[in-house]
Amino acid sequence: MRVLTSDLLVAAVTELSKGSRLVRARDVVAWCEYNGVDAQGDGFKNQALWEADHDEARGRHRLLKFRSGESRQSRMGWALVAHGDRAREAAAHLGWGEQCWNGEAWDWLRGGPPVPTRRYGAAAHEEQGGCPTTEGTSPG
């Protein structure tokens, strides 16, 4: 099985961007599984994916990178440079920010990391038209 490289990452984003201008990391991992490419590599989870991402940023820079926040659990995606405007619109709609490699680390463009806007739990359920919580009451 071949290990994911920056060229294969660009190929995955190119193929997957036909349906959506912003390609999520989980879709790239699924593309790798389907095409017999190892996104894991040696080391941490998805190590080959992260190394391909860094190699691409240090090299030819054919992709734009977006993230939903700074935490390790934040969502991540890429877009082809040619699809930049549409990808930025899609990222803004999701509340994601664009990152750029400065040679040492990833910098956030247009200020700092995005501020999470989603709310979880009962309050979010109510905002989406769900029933209010009835804590402390019993059905009978």
Give bridge partners of residue 38 from the DSSP assignment. 3
pLDDT reported for residue 117: 65
pLDDT reported for residue 109: 85
pLDDT reported for residue 132: 46
* Cβ-contact 6, 52 below 8 angstroms: yes
The structural domains of the chain, ordered by start, are 2-127 (1.10.10)
* Cβ-contact 28, 78 below 8 angstroms: yes
> What is the block-wise mean pLDDT of the chain (140 residues), using blocks of 10 residues?
93 92 94 94 88 92 91 89 93 91 86 68 52 47
pLDDT reported for residue 45: 85
